[in-house]
Copies of this chain bind each other. A is one copy, B any other.
Amino acid sequence: MRWARFERNGEATFGIIEGEEIEAVDGTPFGDHTRTGEKVPLDGTKLLVPFEPKTFYAAGLNYVDHIMEQAEMHGREPNIPEQPDIGYRANNALIAHDEDIVIPKDATDKVQYEGELVAIVGKQAKHLTEENALSCILGYTIGNDVSERTWQKNDRTFWRAKNADTFKPMGPWIETDIDLDSLQTTVRVNGEQTIQFATNNMLFSLQRYIAAMTQYLTLHPGDMIWSGTEGSSPDMKDGDVVEIEINQIGLLRNRFVREK
């Protein structure tokens, strides 16, 4: 099932995508909901960020080639994590499919994309095991963990490097039914493929992260986990359009524009 979010009568509304239409729903995918019978065409409807997240978790270094290439870029030894230490990003930075990523005036040229699988928590959970970890997941979407690499090197936290307004495109919708092992993430810049990787080829799987996290913390409906990215990105210039596609989910497209 695919859940989208769009504006209806001036309010953000969830809807279920079927074929070329979205059927508006009263309620949310996280609780009671009923179909309204009211439909809008998918094509031409402006999609919103697919839900308002509660806690925004992010696995930082979770693919081996990415870790090696980041280390080389920053001129340091690669530091392959020994345990799944989850990090955080911030909601201020979220934008929807087809909205513009604004590169701040004083950012350097080293602004890059990171295509990521996003897992969305649907049920409250604590003390899960790797075996039942995915039982708390409602569905999946796509994220672009946009990063300013100079700030990333110098900021003590990643507040600015990764959480400047518009730096977290997410969407286009939530897909509830996927087979993790057959996902492929493909990134294109201005229509040309720059990378393709097996989405589930993670250093620590989502199951491993969730089992580790819920040993100490409660996951709540509306929390989400961004799962990291593979490889490296060219530097994005004013006007560059990035598409991140994950088969079975969809395609997230955003343009980079430099603030005037």
Contact = CB atoms under 8 A, between A and B. Distances in A.
A64 interface: no
Given A164-B216, A164-B217, A218-B165, A92 B55 contact: yes
The interface size bin for chain A is: 20 to 34
A200 B181 CA distance: 52
Interface in A23-79: 54-55, 57, 60
Interface string A180-202: 00000000000000000000000
Nearest to A107: B216
A8 interface: no
A174 to B, nearest CB: 21
A224 B41 CA distance: 39
A86 B126 CA distance: 28
B85 A165 contact: no
User: Which of A86, A87, A92 lies at the interface centre, i.e. has the most chain B CB atoms within 10 A of its CB?
Assistant: A92
A196 to B, nearest CB: 28
A241 interface: no
Interface string A143-168: 00000000000011101100111000
A216 B85 contact: no
A227 to B, nearest CB: 15
B216 A160 contact: yes
Interface in A102-132: 104, 126
Interface of A: 54-55, 57, 60, 81, 83, 85-88, 90-93, 104, 126, 155-157, 159-160, 163-165, 213, 215-220, 223
